[in-house]
Chain A
Amino acid sequence: MASCSNRLLKLVILGDMGVGKTCLMRRLIYDQFDVNSFPTIGVEFLTKEIHPEGAEHETFTLQIWDTAGQEKFHSLRTPFYRGADVCMLTYSIADRNTFYDLQYWLKEFIFHAGVGANFPYIIVGTKLDLADELRDVPANWAEEWCQAKGIKAICLETSSKTRTNVDEAFHAALTIWIQNSAQSPTSNLDFSFRQFELRSEDLVKINRRQELEERQRRNYCCWKM
């Protein structure tokens, strides 16, 4: 009987077909990797309780909506955008077209989710395991793209196959959300909806966490170099 506060965080994963959205999610939750997985039909949903680093007693329930990348599902996935707290945009580092398509995904998301400029994103390059032979998207592109687009995002590259950076990606989602909501608690309407009583101690916690995140972010910068 959970009596400690358990917050929900809705995360939407978007990206081209075959980028590996579902694999990423399954790796996180089941720690499985299936080379021959089927294309997602419509939408998939999983939840995962995660704790912010350095604040293990805090629990966040990450509701992950994994959307189908296939074009035929276009109209089916858009309803799920609304109410999202974090958006994870994915591309394959071995296929630059998927990277170029990010802008369409971003556009689609912004249109259907109706979110503002301060919305937090995670940009995930998948299939890092292919980096040596097949890298098609230079590592710095994502960062540059985010700057060009003027969106708040954490960028990282992952491999579901080798489990590189998978947990980190989702933690980054939490991180950037916390960071974002602390900075502008009213910018995201949904935030106040979920936290219908934002207590002062929460703010303290958030601030504390913010420091942690700063530290964490430096970590990200390290491997990104």
Chain B
Amino acid sequence: MAGTEIGLWEYFKRLQEEGEQGARSRHADECRVERIALLDQQQTVPFGDGEEADESDTVQLQVRQSDGEFFEKFGSVMRNRTSLMVSESIDRECASSVAAECSQEAENSEAVEDSEEEHLPEEAEIFSRVLGSNSWTQRTCDLLHFENRVAAAPGSGIDGAAARRSTEPPTARRRRSAVLRQGTINGTFRGIKKEHMHLQTQAYLRNMTVEQLYAEVLYETVHVIGFGAKENQDEILSFLKTAFKFDDEKHDMLLEEARAKEAPDILLNVEVIEAHELHAKDCNGLSDPFCTLYLSNGPTQRYNTSVKTKTLKPTWEEHFSLPVEDPNNDVLVIEVWDFDPAETVREKLGKFSDVKGVKGFKKLFKEVAITASTGKHDNELVGTVEIPLKEVVSGGVKLWRSLTKKGKSKSQGQVHLRLALGALKNVQVATQEHRQLVRVLLKHDLEVTQPLPYKWSGRFLELADSVLNQHRIQTGLDENHVQLARWAEFCAVHIDHALNFQLLGRTLEKLIRPIKDGVLSDEEARVFWEAARKLMPACLTCIRKIRKLMPTDKDTLTQLEALLSILVQLTTLTPPKDFELFPANMFAWLSASNEPHSDIHQSIQDAVRQGAKDWYDHIMEINNDDDKKSDDQDIQLSYYIKILSLLQSDLLKAIEYHDKIYSEVAQFEYTKVIYEVYDERVFGLVEPVVQQTCKNLKPLRFNEDPTQGLYDNDDITMGTSLFELYIALQRFVVMGKGRYLNEDYKCSKFHTWFVKGVAQWLDIALYKALKRIEKAVELGNLQPIDEHVKFSSSAVDTLSIYYQIKVFWKQLNWPDVESSYTFVAKIIDDICRCSEFYAAKMSTRVAGLGETENAFSKKFEVTTEWCTAINNIEYIRQAIHPFVLELGLENILNSMAEFHSESNATQCRKTLQLVIDEAIDTVSNKIIDLIEIMAEKMIPSLHRFLVEAAELLRQNNMSLDRLMDYLQKNFETLHSHLSEENFKRTLAIVWDKLTKQLQELIDSSIEKRRPPSFFANLSDALGIMEGFFKYDETEIASLCENSDLLATTKARLKMHSLDTSELIQQYFLNRYEEQKLLTHTPSQNSEQCCGLLTVKCMFQDQYIKIEILNGRNLRPTDSNGYCDSYVKVHLLPEEKFAGSVTKCKTKVHKKNLFPLYDEIFSMPISEDLQRTENALIHFVVKDYEMLSSNELVGEAFFPFSEVRFDSDLQNVAQFHLPLTRPSSALEGEAFMALEHRQGDKMARDFVKKERTRESH
């Protein structure tokens, strides 16, 4: 290895020379490696078939130097040096392969041969000089020479190639063909030397075996770098043996080899980053600082940074690699200098103007003095830092150090450094090795510790850790490369054994910055992306199969979060051009829009979507298909309900567990995407079924006749299942709408599928309600449920049935306003029907109650049951309005106003109000109906009591008492149980019935010619009852419609209860009333009027004086057209004046229709009699007949009440009384009553007389 060392020294020396003042030490890394993307390389190895492709195969890179500078190339060769330290047999193959490629190159590029040829010997020389000690390299060089010779002979290329082929070992040929196939060399680049360089590396990388790696690791272990790492060497060795699974023999052999090799060169990598607060050395108050670095063992090997002019805070950021011989004792010395260029005294003095402050002058003069005295200039030391290499830990350090200067206690400033020990090694090779090592150790680790999937979190076994660390140090890999190696390997291993996503995330995080900064080379970036591509299926599969893969515990969520953050971090990077992150053959399910398959965000979405689809398919699969195909539609529907609930629970899970993570990490609406998928699926699945089912629904049959049972409908279940499906869908839709308001989902109009069903549901609701009401009435005992209320259980049950309808309506939560309105109208109508039905049921229920029957009669008494029945209906009636309000009418009407117009809403409001009013009214009528029935039942008893009372009243008051008792008792019951309103109603109805009954009784009694006393008794009884039927001092009679009827009844009763003479008087009074009508509307020619009689009347003392003046326009009674009239005067009532009054009569005036009587009659009448009520003066005008009885011309009446007291008739006004004949009064009640009194002679005679008078 001595030769190598020399080479190195030369290399560094050259660098030194080249740099001159502040030379830049070119770090090996500066040589840029450029990737060439070859057509073939885009054909990546397929992932999905489970076999992990060998890493080295996927990395198909070609390396070339970016510029032709010699030293750069040379450096690259230097770096490759270590890569060539491999076992000989392989080396040979490699070399031959390289040589073969070179020759191939030569063959392919004849056009450029000449120029390349010139370089070839030089190249070979470098090789041999640098790598001279290595026999392997020597041979390579020979080969190169040989190949070039072959190539150099024009025309003999083919022969040469043929000859070479025959000498090649089979493996080499294989490799070469591989190279050819990959088209590595295609003549694009001119410099063959460059090609050689990278080809070598590549060949090595391609062919690296585990054995080589193992040997390398052993070597590193044996020649460990760093401090405190040697103690457990044996342990590490045996660990390695296990991890690599090598047998003892091989192990020992390789270990021997490793031991035999020399210890690696150690480099101290120093980065001088910056300094600050430097002591000013120049007269201008600033310095021109630069640093000098050297090791205390070799102070002559000095490395300088560039000079930063006029600053006290320089930034260098320069790298140096110092070969270290004795890392244990050596000390790194860093001196900071102030640079002083050579200047004459004059020049120095010229700076006078720049001087700042007194100190500046001092410095200037000092400088001037020195220059003047010594004639030379010198750099001035600012300060020194000494760092023992022991302090440099194996991982490297970054630190600030203070500068010190001899004799000065004050700090001269600080300098910022990064220090690390390492070995020289080709980065590519080292990275490759590191990756392989990571993989071997990781696999071993997994084997040993057996972690669960997603658990391994990056913590290697302790020994493995130190091996890796050592490798890192010895190969001088920087952090970026280490992380890249880890990333690549973790990703690769993850395919077989899922690692903790957090670990991957952390690794990725460390790489993000370098990638963004472009620190990684293109080929490294490619490695990175290849690994990412490997990770993608795992990530996306996790997303897709989250329902199956991981239980929803906290750990899973952490993993999910980590996974997502990996994906999100990747999105911040741009994959190389033409890099397909999601190869189509792997991700067939990615959406077509996701082209060119590299959009991670889109892929997440696709994965989520696909996951939802998978889950949907899974659900469909595991659920029995028999249900779906079942003939029974009911079972079919429950199948869909089940599917929906499963989907919904999945959505709920997504909301509960995953949504937050997705939105926080990836700003991704997870559930929404799932929802979209389900929405579409559900639409396709359920919609046709619902439509079909609705179509098949048959209307229910009703038989609302309460006397018969309800019609049995057995197909209710289908409607019910359909409703359940509706509810399930509703929940599903609400979930989507509630969360994502503006989305227009396919299912969001789900209710329209069901429109036909709603009618059915309403019918079902009605039908069930009727059924239950029937049952409730049947079971109810008509006893108030407790002492505070007066209705019974069936009313409460019925109301609760209504509320079930309300609950149904609320559940339905129908979104469409127009239909809502209509349905509500229907519901109200249904409620009305239910109430009617209930009322009808109630009345049949109580129909037979309260009736007792004995041998003589039927009796009916109002029972509490009757009251309860009425109360029940009333209770329901009162419940209608509040119930209806609870249906949410206002909301519906308000939305109607928004949806249509205010006027439409008003119209609808009107309609609904009407429907409600009508419903309440209808039920009210039902109450009235029932009360009427009840009243009707009371009537027979009342009738009986009335008859008894009328017949026996005078003899025995008890009968009327019995009537009153009966009423009292029943009304007490009613009053104590019924509401005020219904009680009033009852009173009114009973009263109404009673008066009607009375009417009938009177009629029949008249027929039966009951005596006046009977009617008088009835009249009394009526009076008593009228007083009894009072409520709040209001006479019930006034509430009745037929108050006229009552008045006539009363009048009739009164009439029939009168004596015959009284009746006769009443008759005349009626006649007087008729006459009055004529007086007020005098119509001389009317049929009724038989002329006028002019009279004067007055009371004088105990007398009445009557003057009969004349008659006018008398009715002609004789055939000659005249009449022979005279006037007779009676006082009525006749029996009162019978004793005192003589009959007065005028003379007869013959053949005169305008007779002048001019007669005065005076009759003694006591003052008492003068005040007789209703007394009348009765003027009878008759036609005197000689042969037959006198014929009536007309009659007139004058009441005593009109007669004035006076002294002289001269002062009294004349009265023109119209003459009438009995006509309409004969129809009057009084005359009728007289006619009915056939047994009464007086009545009979009177009637006969009047009839005769009429007939004339």
Residues of A within 8 A of B (CB): 1-6, 8, 38, 41-47, 61, 63, 73, 75-80, 82-83, 111-112, 114, 189-190, 192-194, 196-197
From known contacts A42-B821, A196-B843, infer whether A79 and B759 are also in contact, taking CB-CB under 8 Å: yes
Give the most central of B823, B829, B900, B918: most A CB within 10 Å: B829
Question: In the complex, are the beta carbons of B759 and A75 less than 8 A apart?
Answer: yes
Please name all residues of chain A whose beta carbon is closer than 8 Å to the beta carbon of B699 when the two chains form the complex: 82, 111-112, 114
Question: In the complex, are the beta carbons of B826 and A192 less than 8 A apart?
Answer: no
Is B1041 at the interface (CB under 8 A from chain A)?
A: yes
Please name all residues of chain A whose beta carbon is closer than 8 Å to the beta carbon of B908 when the two chains form the complex: 41-42
Is B1224 at the interface (CB under 8 A from chain A)?
A: no
Q: A38-B900, A45-B918, A83-B833 are in contact. List 13 more A-B contacts (CB 8 A).
A: A1-B928, A3-B932, A38-B901, A43-B911, A45-B911, A45-B915, A46-B914, A75-B758, A78-B759, A114-B702, A193-B837, A196-B707, A196-B844
The contact sample of 14 A-B pairs, CB cut-off 8 A, is A3-B989, A41-B818, A43-B822, A45-B918, A46-B911, A46-B914, A47-B918, A73-B818, A75-B756, A79-B762, A111-B699, A190-B704, A193-B837, A196-B706
Task: List residues of B (696-734) whose CB comes within 8 Å of A's CBs.
Answer: 699, 701-707
Question: In the complex, are the beta carbons of A1 and B985 less than 8 A apart?
Answer: yes
Is B238 at the interface (CB under 8 A from chain A)?
A: no
Question: In the complex, are the beta carbons of B918 and A79 less than 8 A apart?
Answer: no
Give the most central of B755, B756, B826: most A CB within 10 Å: B826
Please name all residues of chain B whose beta carbon is closer than 8 Å to the beta carbon of A73 when the two chains form the complex: 818, 822
**Can you name the residue of chain B whose Cβ is closest to the Cβ of A37?**
B907
**What distance in Å separates the Cβ of B817 from its nearest Cβ neighbour in chain A?**
9
Please name all residues of chain B whose beta carbon is closer than 8 Å to the beta carbon of A45 when the two chains form the complex: 825, 911, 914-915, 918
Is B649 at the interface (CB under 8 A from chain A)?
A: no
Please name all residues of chain B whose beta carbon is closer than 8 Å to the beta carbon of A75 when the two chains form the complex: 755-756, 758-759, 819
Residues of B within 8 A of A (CB): 699, 701-707, 755-756, 758-759, 762-763, 818-819, 821-823, 825-826, 829, 833, 836-837, 840, 843-844, 896, 900-901, 903-904, 907-908, 911, 914-915, 918, 922, 925, 928-929, 932-933, 985, 988-989, 992, 1039, 1041
Question: In the complex, are the beta carbons of A1 and B988 less than 8 A apart?
Answer: yes
**Which 8 pairs from chain A and chain B are nearest by CB?**
A42-B822, A75-B755, A76-B822, A79-B759, A193-B704, A79-B826, A45-B911, A196-B840
Q: Which of A2, A114, A192 contacts B928 (CB 8 A)?
A: A2
Please name all residues of chain B whose beta carbon is closer than 8 Å to the beta carbon of A42 when the two chains form the complex: 818-819, 821-822, 825, 908
**What distance in Å separates the Cβ of B823 from its nearest Cβ neighbour in chain A?**
7
Give the most central of A3, A6, A80: most B CB within 10 Å: A3
Please name all residues of chain B whose beta carbon is closer than 8 Å to the beta carbon of A193 when the two chains form the complex: 704-706, 836-837, 840
Question: How far is it, in angstroms, between the C-alpha of A181 and the C-alpha of B705 when the chains are bound?
Answer: 15
**What distance in Å separates the Cβ of B705 from its nearest Cβ neighbour in chain A?**
5
**What distance in Å separates the Cβ of B964 from its nearest Cβ neighbour in chain A?**
23
Question: How far is it, in angstroms, between the C-alpha of A112 and the C-alpha of B992 when the chains are bound?
Answer: 43
**What distance in Å separates the Cβ of B711 from its nearest Cβ neighbour in chain A?**
9
From known contacts A114-B699, A189-B703, infer whether A47 and B819 are also in contact, taking CB-CB under 8 Å: no
Question: In the complex, are the beta carbons of A82 and B702 less than 8 A apart?
Answer: yes
Question: How far is it, in angstroms, between the C-alpha of A80 and the C-alpha of B821 when the chains are bound?
Answer: 13
Question: In the complex, are the beta carbons of A38 and B904 less than 8 A apart?
Answer: yes
Please name all residues of chain B whose beta carbon is closer than 8 Å to the beta carbon of A47 when the two chains form the complex: 914, 918
Question: In the complex, are the beta carbons of A189 and B704 less than 8 A apart?
Answer: yes
Question: In the complex, are the beta carbons of B763 and A44 less than 8 A apart?
Answer: no
Please name all residues of chain A whose beta carbon is closer than 8 Å to the beta carbon of B759 when the two chains form the complex: 75-76, 78-79, 112
Question: In the complex, are the beta carbons of B825 and A43 less than 8 A apart?
Answer: yes
Please name all residues of chain A whose beta carbon is closer than 8 Å to the beta carbon of B837 when the two chains form the complex: 193
**Can you name the residue of chain B whose Cβ is closest to the Cβ of A197?**
B933
Question: In the complex, are the beta carbons of B755 and A3 less than 8 A apart?
Answer: no
Q: Which of A4, A8, A44, A189 contacts B705 (CB 8 A)?
A: A189
**Can you name the residue of chain A whose Cβ is closest to the Cβ of B830?**
A79
From known contacts A6-B925, A47-B914, infer whether A1 and B1039 are also in contact, taking CB-CB under 8 Å: yes
Give the most central of B822, B829, B1039: most A CB within 10 Å: B822
**Can you name the residue of chain B whose Cβ is closest to the Cβ of A42?**
B822
Please name all residues of chain B whose beta carbon is closer than 8 Å to the beta carbon of A8 when the two chains form the complex: 922
Please name all residues of chain B whose beta carbon is closer than 8 Å to the beta carbon of A192 when the two chains form the complex: 705, 707
Question: In the complex, are the beta carbons of B922 and A38 less than 8 A apart?
Answer: no
Question: In the complex, are the beta carbons of B911 and A44 less than 8 A apart?
Answer: yes
Question: In the complex, are the beta carbons of A41 and B904 less than 8 A apart?
Answer: yes
Question: In the complex, are the beta carbons of B762 and A76 less than 8 A apart?
Answer: no
Please name all residues of chain B whose beta carbon is closer than 8 Å to the beta carbon of A43 when the two chains form the complex: 822, 825-826, 911
Question: How far is it, in angstroms, between the C-alpha of A44 and the C-alpha of B989 when the chains are bound?
Answer: 35
Q: Which of A3, A82, A196 contacts B988 (CB 8 A)?
A: A3
Question: In the complex, are the beta carbons of A3 and B928 less than 8 A apart?
Answer: yes
Question: How far is it, in angstroms, between the C-alpha of A38 and the C-alpha of B1039 when the chains are bound?
Answer: 43
Q: Which of B840, B843, B925 contacts A2 (CB 8 A)?
A: B925
Question: In the complex, are the beta carbons of A76 and B819 less than 8 A apart?
Answer: yes
**What distance in Å separates the Cβ of B830 from its nearest Cβ neighbour in chain A?**
8
**What distance in Å separates the Cβ of A132 from its nearest Cβ neighbour in chain B?**
32
Please name all residues of chain A whose beta carbon is closer than 8 Å to the beta carbon of B903 when the two chains form the complex: 38
Please name all residues of chain B whose beta carbon is closer than 8 Å to the beta carbon of A78 when the two chains form the complex: 759
Question: How far is it, in angstroms, between the C-alpha of A45 and the C-alpha of B914 when the chains are bound?
Answer: 7
Question: How far is it, in angstroms, between the C-alpha of A190 and the C-alpha of B918 when the chains are bound?
Answer: 18
**Can you name the residue of chain B whose Cβ is closest to the Cβ of A194?**
B836
**Can you name the residue of chain A whose Cβ is closest to the Cβ of B922?**
A8
Please name all residues of chain B whose beta carbon is closer than 8 Å to the beta carbon of A77 when the two chains form the complex: 822
Please name all residues of chain A whose beta carbon is closer than 8 Å to the beta carbon of B836 when the two chains form the complex: 193-194
Question: How far is it, in angstroms, between the C-alpha of A79 and the C-alpha of B280 when the chains are bound?
Answer: 102
Q: Which of A5, A63, A82, A189 contacts B918 (CB 8 A)?
A: A63
Question: How far is it, in angstroms, between the C-alpha of A43 and the C-alpha of B915 when the chains are bound?
Answer: 11
**What distance in Å separates the Cβ of B894 from its nearest Cβ neighbour in chain A?**
14
Q: Which of B763, B821, B901, B915 contacts A82 (CB 8 A)?
A: B763
Question: How far is it, in angstroms, between the C-alpha of A127 and the C-alpha of B275 when the chains are bound?
Answer: 105
**What distance in Å separates the Cβ of B988 from its nearest Cβ neighbour in chain A?**
6
**What distance in Å separates the Cβ of A84 from its nearest Cβ neighbour in chain B?**
11
Please name all residues of chain A whose beta carbon is closer than 8 Å to the beta carbon of B932 when the two chains form the complex: 3
Give the most central of A38, A76, A189: most B CB within 10 Å: A76
**Can you name the residue of chain A whose Cβ is closest to the Cβ of B755?**
A75
Question: How far is it, in angstroms, between the C-alpha of A189 and the C-alpha of B759 when the chains are bound?
Answer: 21
**What distance in Å separates the Cβ of A74 from its nearest Cβ neighbour in chain B?**
8
Question: How far is it, in angstroms, between the C-alpha of A73 and the C-alpha of B918 when the chains are bound?
Answer: 24
